[in-house]
Structure 1
Amino acid sequence: MDINYTFSNEDTETELNYVFQGSRVLCVAGSGSRVIPLLRARPEKLVCVDISGPQLYLTELRLTAVRHLQYKDFCALLGYVKVEKEERKKIFESLILSESAEDYLVQWFEGNNWEGVIFSGKWEVATFDISRLFSFFLPELKYELNSCTDIISQKKYLKGIRNRLRLVFILIFFISICKNLCTSMISLRRKLNLKTTITSVMLYYRGIFKVASKQLIKNNFFYSPFLLGRYHAGDAKTLEIDKNGYCLYKEALTKCSVQYVAADIFEYLNACGEQFDFISMSNVLDYCPVESFEHHMNVVTNSLVERGTVLIRQHLSANFQFDYARVLGMRIVDSSQHEKDKTPFYKLTALKRQSSPLDKYFN
């Protein structure tokens, strides 16, 4: 099984609003980059769960690296800074991982010729493939967006190339359909969800203008590689390489119990009998049958302490938007922070468990 995600396509700063010192946290692992910033809140326990073993191995690598490496070596291992491949291999070999994680990651690194981690996943490779379309049809795009020093000039430039941008996204749509068609034929499926595909493509298109109205594209960790075909850590830092935060992460790991669980999150919650102060679910529900949503959310509710919180991401292209107000014992938490999320194609919903009618008067 390959690693699908190696970088970050979620803004964990949003999750930090719901984690506090001494809390017990359950987090979908993903690439691990969404997990590390949660340590800033100094949780007592951190359970990283993922149905994909390779994603869990990558999460273990990241957290082990934070625990044992200096900041510059951590950045070098992941590929945030350029180093010789032999140097990266040497850094990796200094870490003590579980046997299964080490066996898998050695093969994975060798298969990638010891390149950096952050843009070696399937999703990240596809992102750079798409960026070549922007380079071909908008050869000046990289220079212009890099040259922008304020929001006004950036918005003006993007408005002037709106039609050419739209053309590129139309091409992305047709490429996506062709890839989906090949996948469908290989797996003997004949169903193509055109509506979901075109909605996804349009969300990324509109997201450019939404982000550009608040932040320089070159400073956005998601859109800079997508549009510019390159990522500069100095311009668009993710939370995991915040230098001041890194010291906090290392300190937190000395007192935080970390557990890695290879399982379906709902099956794990149903079986473990533990309760958590915060559950970070990512967009897991996007991959679940609609008819299972209510059952899954009841499992999550029972796995939260009183006034515990779950944060759910659901891609805006999803065919079905669940009415979370229907979940018994939970209430929706309003948060202005959701509007600041740097990945603007998710609907974010925070739910807090309430066991008393009086709880509705408290945040």
Structure 2
Amino acid sequence: MAGTYFRHLNYALGDEDSSVELQVLPPDTGRVVAVAGSGGRVIPLLARGPRELSCVDISDTQLALTELRVCALRTLEHPEYLGLLGYEPMPVARRLELLGALPLSPGARGALEPLKAAVAAGERIIYLGRFEQMLRTLSRVNGLLTRAAGRRLFDAPDLDAQRAYVTSGFPRSAWKGVLLLLGNSAVLNSLLYRGDFPKKNRPGSTFRIYQELFDRLFQDTPARKSFFLQMVFLGELRFAEGFPIEADPAVYRAAQRHARKCRIDFIQGDLVEEVRKQRDVGFVSLSDVPSFLPPAREQTFLEELKPGLAPGALVVTRGHLRVVTPGHAGYAHVTDRYQDVLARETTQLWTIHVYQREPSGAAGERFQEDLSHARGQAEPFV
């Protein structure tokens, strides 16, 4: 694993639309293991009702922030949760009161002391990570280059109007300058990764990748409904319809109900090793962990996971500029089953792969038959 990058609070909001994992995770899965991240990617998993959830991260600070979110989920009503994290306005004194009342472990409370100090100074939790600070810096540069014309993207009443504006009024020349900055690996290394930037292996220039990414977003996603576009252009979340899915009232209510009876563990360490130690894990959410593995191990991590997985277990991976394609003997590559879900993902930052652990023997033969007859639909969250 990369070293320096994981010693700090890198994500407080995150860069993933976890609606993908929410739809891929089958209801009532017995045991789930997930990268903790900011915790925002974990909350939606609880809405599916797993009986056990292990939140794993190499960073004690990220793990502590995840514990904060879970404690808040278990104890706070939805408006207070949004206010505590900073999605909605809340007096600083009330945020500090709620933060102090959460039943955090001593380790988590100690790890979050800098966060508490930032909250006392008026900062909102969801903007405190390095990634969010990088996006806020980018949004200021974006504002200088594209000015009010760029922000008018959010005035479009519907997707058709947005597409028309992108074609006829959007400041494309100035936007190209923003993309050149965003596509500069030296800039990203300096602002976010601190020397641990994963080596790009996707074909084409970084500029071209980002150009195509944002073109898809402009054409397919209303700007107000994308937390990522809000951060890039506005430097903050102003439109509730674009809040990440952890803030969705229905998801929150379901996650809260299940979190109160789910066994949830917070484990500092290597996620792949943690899965190996367990048994009958039914779902693994790896995020982009494979992008940071040593080259040899990025090819073998699925093999490493096998001892801890139940037959039929699902493993979800993500890659951004570096997309890992591991050996997957003993797995079915079932990404195509979720194409509708992936098409609705609201950041378009990620190449997402889904693998399913194949049973052995006669059960494996039946599994292959069932797989060949699958219609390729995720079971929707209601």
Do they fold alike, i.e. is TM over 0.5? yes
Q: Which residue of 1 aligns with 2:270?
A: 264
Secondary structure at the aligned position of 2:242 is classed as coil
Task: After TM superposition, list the pairs within 5 Å mapping 1:106-117 onto structure 2.
Answer: 106-111=113-118, 113-117=121-125
Secondary structure at the aligned position of 1:3 is classed as coil
Q: Which residue of 2 aligns with 1:327?
A: 328
Q: CA deviation at 1:19?
A: 2.8
AA of the residue aligned to 1:305: A
CA contact (8 A) 2:34 2:55 kept: yes
In structure 1, distance between residues paired with 2:56 and 2:272? 10
CA contact (8 A) 2:286 2:318 kept: yes
AA of the residue aligned to 2:346: K
Pair 1:193–1:99, CA change in 2 (3 A)? closer
Secondary structure at the aligned position of 1:138 is classed as helix
Q: Which residue of 2 aligns with 1:80?
A: 87
Secondary structure at the aligned position of 2:283 is classed as strand
Q: Does 1:56 align with 2:66?
A: no
Identify the match of residue 357 of structure 1 among 351, 359, 365. 365
AA of the residue aligned to 2:365: P
CA contact (8 A) 2:11 2:129 kept: yes
CA contact (8 A) 1:3 1:54 kept: yes
Q: Does 1:277 align with 2:298?
A: no
Pair 1:182–1:119, CA change in 2 (3 A)? closer
Q: CA deviation at 1:60?
A: 0.2
Q: Which residue of 1 aligns with 2:235?
A: 229
Identify the match of residue 68 of structure 1 among 66, 75, 80. 75
**What's the TM-score, normalizing by structure 1?**
0.89
AA of the residue aligned to 1:332: H
Q: Percent identity?
A: 25
- Structure 1 window deviating more from structure 2 (261-270 vs 203-212): it is 203-212
In structure 2, distance between residues paired with 1:257 and 1:102? 20
Secondary structure at the aligned position of 1:8 is classed as coil
Task: After TM superposition, list the pairs within 5 Å mapping 1:96-115 onto structure 2.
Answer: 96-111=103-118, 113-115=121-123
Identify the match of residue 168 of structure 1 among 166, 178, 192. 178
In structure 2, distance between residues paired with 1:182 and 1:83? 29
Q: CA deviation at 1:141?
A: 3.2
Secondary structure at the aligned position of 1:235 is classed as helix
| Runs of at least 5 residues in structure 1 that lack an aligned partner in the other structure | none
Identify the match of residue 49 of structure 2 among 38, 42, 50. 42
Q: CA deviation at 1:200?
A: 4.2
CA contact (8 A) 1:141 1:228 kept: no
Pair 1:342–1:299, CA change in 2 (3 A)? same
CA contact (8 A) 1:177 1:197 kept: no
Identify the match of residue 286 of structure 1 among 268, 291, 307. 291
In structure 1, distance between residues paired with 2:345 and 2:218? 13
In structure 1, distance between residues paired with 2:114 and 2:297? 37
In structure 2, distance between residues paired with 1:34 and 1:88? 22
CA RMSD of aligned residues (A): 2.6
CA contact (8 A) 1:26 1:48 kept: yes
Q: Residue deviations 1:261-305, cap 9 Å, x none?
A: 1001122223x2322110001010010122112321101233210
